[in-house]
């Protein structure tokens, strides 16, 4: 993990020309109820099997409910050889600290194959 990033900094980056990939590590149900627009859901338990999908990212921000599990997720992502060159940060305070827009999915998430 490179560092923690504030929700305000994440909001600024999302409005930039080169936004980071936002990886929400909560369960599919929690993600469907509410998430940062444009984020992708990779539940923490699936992260080891799906981390290679992040190889092309230059900057990754992990998100969880309160900013603690996302620190572990950021460390795991950063330790993967394919993402070693990426900047990997955890959003400080998690979704509890996020004051920006959120979106929800109207349909129930599909069962995970993992």
Which active-site residues does the annotation give?
64
Q: Containing H/E element for 49?
A: helix 47-50
CB neighbour burial string for 25-40, b if at least 16 within 10 angstroms, e if fewer: bbebebbbeebbeebe
Tell me phi and psi for residue 69, to 5 degrees. Answer: -65, -30
Rounded CA separation 83/43 (Å): 18
Which structure tokens are listed for 81? Answer: 């050889």
């Amino acid at each position: 993990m490179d560092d923690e990033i504030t929700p305000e900094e994440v909001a600024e980056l999302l409005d930039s020309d080169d936004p980071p990939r936002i990886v929400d590590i909560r369960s599919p149900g929690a993600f469907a109820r509410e998430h940062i627009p444009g984020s992708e859901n990779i539940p923490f338990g699936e992260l080891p099997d799906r981390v290679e999908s992040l190889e092309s990212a230059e900057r990754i921000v992990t998100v969880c409910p309160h900013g603690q599990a996302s620190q572990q997720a950021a460390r795991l992502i950063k330790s993967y050889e394919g993402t070693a060159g990426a900047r990997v940060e955890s959003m400080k305070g998690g979704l509890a600290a996020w004051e920006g827009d959120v979106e929800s999915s109207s349909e129930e998430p599909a069962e995970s194959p993992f």
